[in-house]
Structure 1
Amino acid sequence: MSQGSRFDLRRRDVLKATGVAGVSMAGLAGCLGEEGPDELTITLTQFPDTIDPLDHITGDYFDVLDHIYEPLFDFEPGEGIFPRVVEDTEILGGGTTELQLRDDVVFHNGDEMTAEDVAWTINRTVDNDIGVASDIGAFGLGSITGAEAMDDTTLEVYYNGAPGLAEFEFGNYARAMNRDWSIENHDADQEGESVSGADPEDFNGTGPYEVVDFTSGEEIVLERFDDYWGEEPPFERVVFNADGESSGRVSSLETGETDLTINILPEDVNTVQNADDVEIRRVTSFRNIFLPMKNTVEPFDSQEFRQAMNYAVDNAGIVDSVLSGFGEARGQPVAPGINGFNPDIEPYEQDIGMAESLVEDSGYGGIEIELTVPQGRYLNDAAVGETAADQIDQLDNVDCDVNIVDFGVVSDANSAGIDPDVIEIPFYMIGWGTITGDTDYGVQGFFSQEAETRTFDDEELSDAILASQAIEDPDERREQLEEVNRIAHEKAPFVFLHTQESIYGVREDIQWDPREDETVYVWGMNQ
């Protein structure tokens, strides 16, 4: 039996225990080998402001950079991880898993990829003292403690949680960067700075595409990498650009300037459906939209007040009116389909009387608060935030204003931690896609007391998360994660809003199905 087959068998056993089924590598590959058109243009909502794939956790960034710096595994939402650059894995016990790499993978600059590169990449992600900083460690690789190369194609990954949790994490966030090249190309004048540059040669991954033209903040042009180890991707040339306005993205689709665009707003759906040769494709995503309330500052230190904010907001009504039904009201941090989603938890229902009573119980009657909301990042985000703020403002004992800002403002607020002396924005809107398929990714960065980026400080909730990380039995761990979601619902660290639908406009002859994790992979397309 081949190494890849051993990987598949073991993976299916794990998935069977967690209630989901595996898929074959051939199924993931789709029509990669078939002849297709020469060029594809994809329009995103925002363009990456970094060339470093480990510098930021944002879906639009991964959509671009994963074609250049490919993931080590293929992740299929609801199914698990499957061989890609990593051919085989083996759980050794004692917090260690061995990864066996392919021996024919090369970087775009011609260097062979080795286990040293992969181990360094993982270590860089979890240890900022290594000298080339990464911002994804706390959220993406929370249980991973390090990695070590054993030979040219074998490395060991070390973690302090359950093997299943570690697999969710490195299966989604392990990517290979060329160690020596990365060290040479990061900004050594600023300690901890990520890899940077403004020219095509400043990118150097192992992916099926290499960069041939790059205009920072505007456009990146990719062409097939001739020495790619895997199947030839279906398009010779791929162009990524961005437009922050749904109407602009729709116009580009109508005129044929783009072939696929993301985040079509509900009000623009009919325009796309009435246009020639293009169509709408949609899927309920893994992304929840919510309003964090940092509980180290008043009035959000009161559980009664936080629950009152949930009762004040009509999340189901917002889905119907503001999103035209393109979403599902939610009452917990993660979406259906995520390991640990609790099916017994219902969304909070709007109850103005209950909300006003809870505000009085909290001792904060008559308080003024402000909700900070991004514009252009999520589906009708500004309108959703304005509606939520208006509904809170309807309470007789709370005044709520709204502040519409660029997404970067709330992104910075979300990662600022809970030190009351530095909190400038305690109440804001953010979205979080649990793209690993596991509840831990949707909660530990927000709630674990070990996470410097946490937005909520509560020992009971944190302990429940830490307990889940140590459970090796998949069924027991899932039950504990359901308990984590129950506690989160009760303690109300967020105003829970909804799970967002992903709405795409796409040229109708392109064969492609949207994914729940919001990634757009060219290797999964054809026409």
Structure 2
Amino acid sequence: MKHISIIVMLCFGLVLSACSSSSQSGPKDSGTGEPQDLVMALGSEPVSLDPQDATDGISYDATELMYDKLVTFDKDMKLVPQLAKEWKTSDDGLKVTFTLNQGAKFHDGASLNADAVKASFDRIMNKDNKLGRFALYTEFLDKVVVDSEYQVTFQLKFPYVPALANFAHPSGAIVNAKAAKEKGENFSKSPVGSGPYQFKEWVSGDKVVLTANTGYWGEKPKLKSITIKAVKENAARALMLETGEAGVIAPVPATDIERLKGDNKLTVTTYPSNRNLYIGINTQKAPFNDVKVRQALNYAVDKDTIVKKILLGQAQVSQSAISERTSGYSPAGAYPYDPEKAKSLLTEAGVKPGTTIKLWTPEGRYLMDRQIAEFVQANLEAVGLKVEFQKWEWGAYTKAYRDPNSGLELFLVSWAVPSNDADGGLRPLFMTKGTNNYTVFSNKTIDDLLDKGMKTVNNDERKKIYADTLKAIKDQAPWIFLVEMKQPVGVRKNVEGVTSLNTELVDLRTAVKK
């Protein structure tokens, strides 16, 4: 028996030794000074890793790590240098000249110089490439001229106030145009940029993995890798933060914010946002082609309850089609909750009680999105409509609501303004030929105002033009205007250097895990 006991003890010791050895071979603990792996869990996965074609915020969370721009926004939304060390605008406002930092390279080793900058912008401005952000630059840019190896000039069609802000837009990222041409459609899933992190793999429906670009020309990355996980279930995302499986999550579910704040291993920070959450209306489809019906839908929805009961204060009722944090904003006023007014307008428009309409929503992409859509469904049914409700996976949803032939009628979505300017917040959505005009909205008065606003330099005149535009958009009601969002971000306390911009970009470029 004594011999057996000794053998058992020896075996137990070997097991403990193996466990100890195994734990030491895993991720290093704080104090090692070695770069760590970081997981960030978001509500959905990117749609594209090509910044010139992406139009959603989740994609930009990834592309901002892999690409550099000429200029960028800091955490206070001030323009700061990135690839460009300096720039100047000509007296007539028709030329912007950038002097580049030297030594920047793409992840495949190619030089990032003035020729590369021109090639990148020529790519996005080529309509044959059919890139999602084509109009963001072609509306105001005439051509790009290489002055020298490290100096490039952008010639504008007219003086355009937010030009620099548009260069700081995530779609202003400098892509390796040669690699993009060679890869074709595969570039969106196998990108080549110049940022502090480079692409490793994309497991569809699960994760995007980036690794440190150790040869980065700027401030060196402080993490070994960043994995962006798609976790649409609110409870699962919160649990990952609590257990340490994820170092960062966004958004933090509204129902979990106070509980997570009580965990001394975590911090939850609610950042301001210029994102508006709304329900788009297919304005070309009956009965929504009648403005009275669109206005009725707005009167039918109780926005205050959405803010107080569903989002638990993590938002405010929208007063305009752009956020109060966006340059050029003025309040147009919210539609009050008035179900009787809604019923009256529906009757005037000839909409019979029991008329069936369709409402679509994603789940997990936005803070409490499904719950908000279900509440709106109940509001609309309370004024006599029958609402067919459908949840979508984010990737499929983005294709469906952008296709006017998909059968869409009402669809919950949002719009942030990465350029932080009213032109970028309104023209793509409400111009008749706007690239993001998913409501198929058309109004000549608004078209004229948007064109005038884009070409006006005087700030007071611009603000007046956009005030008139926002009032006209409210009256025409191509949306059910809902709320201006906030961005609650959860971070483990051993992770530092994480912030979120007004645009809801979760910035990990300087993040470090200890």
Task: Please give the range of the TM-score, normalised by the shorter of the 2 chains.
Answer: 0.7 to 0.9
Map 1:411-430 onto structure 2 (within 5 A).
411-416=398-403, 422=405, 424-430=407-413
Aligned equivalent of 1:11: none
Deviation (angstroms), 1:112: 0.8
Q: Is the 8 A contact 1:168 1:438 kept in 2?
A: yes
Aligned equivalent of 1:117: 116
Quickly say closer, same or farther: Cα 1:148–1:413, change in 2 above 3 A.
farther
**Matches of 2:401 and 2:69 in 1, distance apart?**
26
**Matches of 1:310 and 1:209 in 2, distance apart?**
44
Given candidates 262, 265, 279, the residue that maps to 1:291 is: 279
Quickly say closer, same or farther: Cα 1:525–1:461, change in 2 above 3 A.
same
Secondary structure of 2:166's match?
helix
Aligned equivalent of 1:350: 337
Quickly say closer, same or farther: Cα 1:374–1:473, change in 2 above 3 A.
same
Q: Is the 8 A contact 1:74 1:83 kept in 2?
A: yes
Given candidates 366, 385, 399, the residue that maps to 2:373 is: 385
Aligned equivalent of 2:125: 126
Q: Is the 8 A contact 1:73 1:86 kept in 2?
A: yes
Partner deviation per Cα, 1:254-291 (whole Å, 9 max, x = no partner): 11111111111112224423434112111231111111
AA partner of residue 82 (structure 1)? V
Deviation (angstroms), 1:102: 1.8
**Matches of 1:36 and 1:176 in 2, distance apart?**
30
Aligned equivalent of 2:13: none
State whether structure 2 residue 152 is matched by structure 1 residue 167.
no
Deviation (angstroms), 1:309: 0.8
Secondary structure of 2:96's match?
strand
Q: Is the 8 A contact 2:306 2:372 kept in 1?
A: yes
**Matches of 2:397 and 2:475 in 1, distance apart?**
25
Give the fraction of aligned pairs with identical amino acids, expressed as a percent: 23
Quickly say closer, same or farther: Cα 1:448–1:161, change in 2 above 3 A.
farther
AA partner of residue 124 (structure 2)? T
Q: Is the 8 A contact 1:101 1:153 kept in 2?
A: yes
**Matches of 2:67 and 2:499 in 1, distance apart?**
23
State whether structure 2 residue 427 is matched by structure 1 residue 440.
no
AA partner of residue 83 (structure 1)? P
TM-score by length of 2: 0.86
Aligned equivalent of 1:498: 483
Aligned equivalent of 2:199: 211
Q: More displaced, 402-411 or 260-269?
A: 402-411
Aligned equivalent of 1:106: 105
**Matches of 1:36 and 1:474 in 2, distance apart?**
49
Q: Is the 8 A contact 1:234 1:522 kept in 2?
A: no
**Matches of 1:460 and 1:327 in 2, distance apart?**
31
Aligned equivalent of 1:458: 443
Partner deviation per Cα, 1:198-257 (whole Å, 9 max, x = no partner): xxxx44211112335554543344333232221223334333322121211212111111
AA partner of residue 195 (structure 1)? F
Secondary structure of 1:490's match?
helix
Quickly say closer, same or farther: Cα 1:139–1:94, change in 2 above 3 A.
closer
AA partner of residue 289 (structure 1)? L
State whether structure 2 residue 34 is matched by structure 1 residue 47.
no
Given candidates 336, 351, 365, the residue that maps to 2:324 is: 336
**Matches of 1:340 and 1:503 in 2, distance apart?**
25
Quickly say closer, same or farther: Cα 1:488–1:78, change in 2 above 3 A.
farther
**Matches of 1:211 and 1:443 in 2, distance apart?**
33
Deviation (angstroms), 1:108: 1.5
Q: Is the 8 A contact 1:133 1:194 kept in 2?
A: no
The answer for unaligned runs of 5 or more in structure 2 is: 1-32
The answer for unaligned runs of 5 or more in structure 1 is: 1-34, 187-192
Deviation (angstroms), 1:471: 0.2
**Matches of 2:423 and 2:136 in 1, distance apart?**
9
State whether structure 2 residue 500 is matched by structure 1 residue 519.
no
Q: Is the 8 A contact 1:393 1:401 kept in 2?
A: no
Quickly say closer, same or farther: Cα 1:161–1:243, change in 2 above 3 A.
farther
Aligned equivalent of 1:478: 463
Deviation (angstroms), 1:311: 0.6
Q: More displaced, 83-92 or 216-225?
A: 216-225
Q: Is the 8 A contact 1:118 1:175 kept in 2?
A: no
Aligned equivalent of 2:153: 156
Map 1:73-84 onto structure 2 (within 5 A).
73-76=71-74, 79-84=77-82
Quickly say closer, same or farther: Cα 1:138–1:328, change in 2 above 3 A.
same
Aligned equivalent of 2:364: 376
Deviation (angstroms), 1:437: 0.7
Secondary structure of 1:337's match?
coil
Q: Is the 8 A contact 1:45 1:263 kept in 2?
A: yes
AA partner of residue 447 (structure 1)? F
Partner deviation per Cα, 1:70-127 (whole Å, 9 max, x = no partner): 2322213664321110222222346432222222211122111122222222222232
Partner deviation per Cα, 1:387-437 (whole Å, 9 max, x = no partner): 1121111114x33332222234442344335xxxx3621321111111211
Q: Is the 8 A contact 1:91 1:98 kept in 2?
A: yes
The root-mean-square deviation of aligned C-alpha atoms, in Å, is: 2.4
Deviation (angstroms), 1:447: 1.0
Map 1:4-23 onto structure 2 (within 5 A).
none
Structure 1 or 2, whichever has the larger Rg, is 2
**Matches of 1:141 and 1:102 in 2, distance apart?**
26
AA partner of residue 121 (structure 1)? S
Quickly say closer, same or farther: Cα 1:399–1:239, change in 2 above 3 A.
closer
